[in-house]
Amino acid sequence: MNETPVIRWGDVASLIDGTLPEPPAPEILARDDDNALFYREQVNSLFGEPESGKTWIALAAAAETLAEGGSAVVIDLDHNGMLSTVSRLLSLGASKDALANFSQFRYVEPDDRPELHAIVHELVELRPDVVILDSIGELLPALGLNSNSPDDFTVAHSIVLKPLARSGACVIAIDHVAKNPDSASRGPTGTAAKSRAIGGVSLRVKVKEAFAPGRGGSAYISIRKDRHGGLRATSPSGEGEPLAGTFALHPEGYKTAFSIYAPTDGDTMPSAAPAEDVAALQALDPEPTSVRDVKERLGWGTNKASIAIKVFRQQLSSEGGSDGLGSVA
């Protein structure tokens, strides 16, 4: 016999008399100013180009949670592998004891819809603090659903992401952007239903310094969506997507494995351009002087040249200043 569902009536009387609790604030993955990036009990997302640092940031949230005695789960739909995942967590400061404790950390690579259903059912009972799902791009195919269908994404959200968040977890779903710069600027690939389903934050990740084993790396993090406004309230305002911080994976021998540096007034998210386009400009000798110069020397169109040289100049400018990254910058 089916149980009677719980009806979540809105408390309008408390809204009217002003006794509703304050909106939630992010609690997971603290910046160096003690404000955090991700919300508990909500679906949060990280999206960006390949190799931009999305998985590193998500795993940093897990490592921080484990270090504080909490629990974390990695649902690896991208099949990065247990060896790679655990190695990254160890490099981020997670202890071997925490990772080996099945009640504190779990890793799984689901193959199909029945296994995903079973995983969600067990995790709802377990109530972990953080659940990383890597990635949304593989979630719908694993469920036998269409990645470009709003209705199908809503189904996937309802049977996987929402139950995990309602059980109390900070769900961090990793997603990707299209290769075309114009499409990438609009957010994750696929249906717009993804944005509507975010109950916490949706954060864009752009690489600053390429990530490399033993040498660290860094990435900008900007706010695409913040349903409750808690992260925006602690980040500089401005046009477009406010900068939420800079993630730095420190080289071996550094005093901490990683840091999230809070933005200051005037900090902005740099424009986006494919890494290979910027590298092509960096290889030019002498340095490019204008959009026309780039077009003539590389045979590019106006739009591609304009975006690339803007990012190229921003990077040159940032190299002349200090951003708190120490040896990583």
pLDDT of residue 321: 42
C-beta neighbour count of 280 within 10 angstroms: 17
Q: Are residues 65 and 142 in the same domain?
A: yes
| CA atoms of 329 and 323, how far apart (whole Å) | 7
Nearest to 208 by CA among 295, 97, 328: 328
pLDDT of residue 132: 98
H/E stretch holding 295 reads helix 291-298
Instruction: Give 223-232 pLDDT, tens digit per residue.
Output: 999 999 999 9
Q: Are residues 234 and 304 in the same domain?
A: no
Q: Are residues 242 and 305 in the same domain?
A: no
| CA atoms of 277 and 312, how far apart (whole Å) | 9
Q: What is the CATH number of the domain that holds 234?
A: 3.40.50.300
Q: Would you say residue 255 lies in a domain?
A: yes
Count of structural domains within the chain = 2
Task: Give Cα 301 distance to the centre of its chain.
Answer: 31
User: What tens-digit pLDDT sequence spans the chain (329 residues)?
Assistant: 567 888 989 889 988 888 878 889 999 999 999 999 999 999 999 999 999 999 999 999 999 999 999 999 999 999 999 999 999 999 999 999 999 999 999 999 999 999 999 999 999 999 999 999 999 999 999 999 998 899 999 999 999 999 999 999 999 999 988 655 554 555 665 667 788 889 999 999 999 888 987 889 999 999 999 999 999 999 998 667 899 999 999 998 888 999 999 998 877 777 767 778 888 989 999 999 999 999 999 999 887 888 888 888 877 776 554 343 433 32
Q: Would you say residue 1 lies in a domain?
A: no
C-beta neighbour count of 84 within 10 angstroms: 12
Please give the span between the terminal C-alpha atoms of the chain, in angstroms, as a whole number.
60
Residue range(s) defining the domain that contains residue 287: 275-321
Q: Are residues 132 and 188 in the same domain?
A: yes
| CA atoms of 300 and 329, how far apart (whole Å) | 30
Q: Are residues 153 and 293 in the same domain?
A: no
Q: Would you say residue 2 lies in a domain?
A: no
Query: At which of 238, 261, 284 does a domain end?
Result: 261
Q: Would you say residue 266 lies in a domain?
A: no
C-beta neighbour count of 252 within 10 angstroms: 10
Whether cis (ω within 30° of 0) applies to the bond prior to 290 is: no
Q: Would you say residue 14 lies in a domain?
A: no
Q: Would you say residue 234 lies in a domain?
A: yes
Q: Are residues 121 and 37 in the same domain?
A: yes
| CA atoms of 215 and 251, how far apart (whole Å) | 4
pLDDT of residue 48: 93
| CA atoms of 15 and 10, how far apart (whole Å) | 9
pLDDT of residue 21: 81
Q: Are residues 217 and 316 in the same domain?
A: no
Q: Are residues 284 and 174 in the same domain?
A: no
pLDDT of residue 11: 87
C-beta neighbour count of 282 within 10 angstroms: 13
Q: Would you say residue 113 lies in a domain?
A: yes
Q: Are residues 165 and 297 in the same domain?
A: no
Q: Are residues 188 and 292 in the same domain?
A: no
Task: Give phi and psi for 218, each to the nearest 5.
Answer: -155, 160
Q: Would you say residue 199 lies in a domain?
A: yes
Query: At which of 261, 283, 300 does a domain end?
Result: 261
pLDDT of residue 1: 53
Query: At which of 233, 261, 289 does a domain end?
Result: 261
User: Do residues 142 and 110 make contact, with C-beta atoms less than 8 angstroms apart?
Assistant: yes
Q: Are residues 163 and 290 in the same domain?
A: no
pLDDT of residue 10: 87
pLDDT of residue 187: 61
Q: Are residues 167 and 306 in the same domain?
A: no
